[in-house]
Structure 1
Amino acid sequence: MIKGSCLCGKVAFEISGKPYSLSYCHCSRCRKAAGVFSAVLVGKGSDLRITQGEDAIARLTPGPDWKFERCFCKDCGTSLGDLETGDIYVVAASALDDDPGIRPSAHIHTASKPAWYEIDDDLKKFEGDYIPDPQD
């Protein structure tokens, strides 16, 4: 079980099952919510359960270019990621309380990164989205 929460503790969640990936997302939404990029944990949607504070979660409905709602705590502003997205969850790794058991494997949405930021590691890079096949 992987547990997570917001800064003030009003929102808590848990993840069962092994996550698919841990990546650095450079999309414009993640940059604005977290800084230069956001570390995001992705896994099977049914593995995520909000255990506390559902009513404290604010949801920013996406425009036509986005398919997921951006979620954050109404009280402390902690970015929670995109949470309930149907088949998958996308959780801001910064909200994790436990080690997810995997390490970052890629940079995604690199076409959206700021020009002044250089990626200087050897992780895979994808100009758009990338979610690995959970069977691999």
Structure 2
Amino acid sequence: MIRGSCLCGAVAIEIAGTPRSLSYCHCSRCRKAEGVFAAVLIGAVDDLRIVRGEDHIRRLEPQEPWTHRRAFCGTCGSALGELYAGATYVVAASLLDDDPGMRPTAHLNVASKPDWYEIADDLKKFEGNYIPA
């Protein structure tokens, strides 16, 4: 079980099973929500459970061409990711209280990274989005 919570503790999650990936997303939405990039944990939506704070979760609907709904804690503003993205969850790794048992494997949306930021590792790079199967 992987546990996570927001900064104020109002929202808490649990993830059962093994996530599919831990990646860095450089899309402009993730940059604005979390910094230069967002570390995101991706897995099967059935493995995600909101333990507490559903009433604190706020969502920002996407504008085209975006498809993911940004979720955040309405009390402290902590980024939660996209908790329910169809058959997958995309959870902001900053939410995690426990070690997910994996390390980042890829950079997503590198075509959107800021010019002033250089990726200095040898992880896989995807120009656009990528949701592992």
- Listed as ranges, the matches of 1:9-48 within 5 Å are 9-48=9-48
Amino acid in structure 1 at the alignment position of 2:102: I
Distance in 1 between residues matched to 2:29 and 2:83, nearest whole Å: 14
TM-score by length of 2: 0.98
Instruction: State which drifts further: 37-46 or 64-73.
Output: 64-73
Instruction: State which drifts further: 100-109 or 63-72.
Output: 63-72
Q: Indicate the residue corresponding to 1:106 in structure 2.
A: 106
Report the 3-state secondary structure (helix = DSSP H, G, I; strand = E; otherwise coil) of the residue aligned with 1:72: strand
Aligned length: 133
Distance in 1 between residues matched to 2:75 and 2:126, nearest whole Å: 34
Identity %: 68
Q: Residue deviations 1:58-87, cap 9 Å, x none?
A: 100011211111000001000000111120
Amino acid in structure 2 at the alignment position of 1:104: P
Q: CA RMSD in A?
A: 0.7
Return 5+ residue gaps in structure 1 as ranges.
none
Q: Indicate the residue corresponding to 1:58 in structure 2.
A: 58
Q: Residue deviations 1:29-61, cap 9 Å, x none?
A: 100011100000000011111110001001000
Q: Indicate the residue corresponding to 2:118 in structure 1.
A: 118
Report the 3-state secondary structure (helix = DSSP H, G, I; strand = E; otherwise coil) of the residue aligned with 2:86: coil
Q: Indicate the residue corresponding to 1:131 in structure 2.
A: 131
Q: Indicate the residue corresponding to 1:83 in structure 2.
A: 83
Alpha-carbon shift at residue 132 of structure 1 (Å): 2.3
Distance in 2 between residues matched to 1:27 and 1:89, nearest whole Å: 17
Instruction: State which drifts further: 59-68 or 91-100.
Output: 59-68
